[in-house]
């Protein structure tokens, strides 16, 4: 591993001052990605800034307006919090899929987002729950960025020099809303998703008409994507098997997968259809 300086600030102001230094300055939220990237020379750093001791980045709370997740909060803490308080089942499911238990205890949701891997499991659930990224820097102040606009390419975000993700804010889901996340992996739970789908629907219980639909895909495009055409086909329609089949077919249009050692492009498109059907049916089951 190349040599680099290490700092562990205890205040946000100190962290932002460090992040504004010249050279390659890398934030460390959990370290499960950046340490491996430094060891394999996929990234370099003059300074690594550990964010795990900053109170604002460890915020995890829920009120009537929604859920706030500090960028350094671990996947395990997010999973346990949602399991206790409810409201965001797709995100809870995805947090339990990020590597092993040991990795989940260290890795953060914010780090998973900033790593910007197209296959990241937590991002589709965050997108269907309409998360907003709150960022901050010493020079530019604070920004609020809809998470769908946060990704610039594989491993790339819109964060600027010295800017960090402070927290993710998810609005409170309306009544009669359910969400679900599923992925397909080739061998075991430590594998990267060949394809992943997060779905959310809000349904009028008297008419069974879908009033809101959100579908997001992982590992089938350079960045996580929303399946807008499929969402539009569901909204205003009675939710039944035909509507779900139609949405699943339309979801494929949002996928632009590649062929690699884990699966062909056509295979991934078929997986998108299957996983969309399954997640939408799980949402219906959760709505009763």
Mind listing the pLDDT tens digit of every residue in the chain (288 residues)? 778 999 999 999 999 999 999 999 999 998 888 888 888 888 889 999 999 999 999 999 999 899 999 999 999 999 999 999 999 999 999 999 998 899 999 999 999 999 999 999 999 999 999 999 999 999 989 999 999 999 999 999 999 999 999 999 999 999 999 999 999 987 766 678 899 999 999 999 999 999 999 999 999 999 999 999 999 999 999 999 999 999 999 999 999 999 988 889 999 999 999 999 999 999 999 998
Q: Which residue has the tokens 């290490």?
A: 6
Residue 212 burial (10 A CB sphere; 0-12, 13-18, 19+): middle
Q: Are 199 and 128 in contact (CB under 8 A)?
A: yes
The whole-number pLDDT of residue 277 equals 98
**Domain spans in the chain, listed from the N-terminal domain onward:** 5-50, 56-171, 177-287
- pLDDT in the model for residue 193: 87
- Fold of the 56-171 domain: 3.30.465
Of 75, 172, 170, the residue nearest 132 (C-alpha): 170
Distance between CA atoms of 29 and 26, rounded to whole angstroms?
Answer: 10
Q: Residue 120 CA to chain centroid, in angstroms?
A: 6
Q: Taking Cα atoms as reference points, which of 250, 268, 251 lies closest to residue 259?
A: 268
pLDDT of residue 250: 98
Measured CA angle at 58 (ends 36, 88), to 5 deg: 90
For the segment(s) 177-287, the CATH number from 3.30.390.50, 3.40.50.2300, 3.20.20.70, 3.40.50.720 is 3.30.390.50
Tell me how far apart the alpha carbons of residues 120 and 272 are, in angstroms, rounded to a whole number: 15
Q: Which residues contact 32 (CB under 8 A, 6 or more apart)?
A: 99, 103, 106, 107, 111
Q: What is the pLDDT of residue 89?
A: 97
The predicted model scores a pTM of 0.95
What topology is assigned to 5-50 in CATH? 3.30.43
């Amino acid at each position: 591993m190349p040599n680099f300086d290490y700092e562990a600030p205890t205040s946000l102001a100190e962290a932002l001052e460090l992040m504004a230094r010249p050279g390659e300055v890398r934030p460390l939220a959990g370290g499960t990605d950046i340490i491996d990237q430094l060891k394999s020379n996929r990234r370099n750093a003059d300074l690594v800034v550990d964010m795990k001791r900053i109170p604002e980045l460890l915020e995890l709370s829920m009120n009537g307006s929604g859920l706030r997740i500090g960028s350094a909060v671990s996947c395990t803490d997010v999973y346990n919090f949602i399991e206790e308080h409810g409201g965001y089942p797709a995100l809870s499911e995805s947090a339990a899929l990020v590597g092993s238990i040991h990795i989940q205890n260290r890795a953060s949701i914010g780090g998973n987002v900033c790593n910007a891997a197209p296959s990241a499991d937590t991002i589709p659930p965050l997108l269907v729950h309409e998360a907003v990224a709150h960022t901050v820097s010493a020079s530019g102040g604070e920004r609020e960025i809809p998470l769908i606009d946060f990704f610039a390419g594989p491993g790339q975000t819109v964060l600027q020099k010295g800017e960090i993700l402070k927290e993710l804010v998810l609005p409170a889901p309306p009544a009669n809303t359910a969400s679900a996340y599923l992925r397909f992996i080739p061998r075991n739970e430590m594998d990267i998703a060949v394809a992943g789908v997060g779905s959310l629907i809000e349904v009028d219980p008297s008419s069974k008409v879908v009033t809101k639909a959100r579908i997001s895909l992982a590992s089938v495009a350079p960045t996580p994507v929303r399946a807008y055409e499929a969402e539009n086909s569901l909204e205003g329609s009675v939710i039944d098997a035909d509507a779900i089949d139609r949405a699943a077919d339309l979801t494929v249009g949002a996928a632009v997968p590649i062929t690699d050692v884990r699966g062909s492009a056509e295979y991934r498109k078929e997986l998108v259809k299957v996983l969309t059907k399954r997640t939408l049916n799980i949402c219906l089951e959760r709505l009763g």
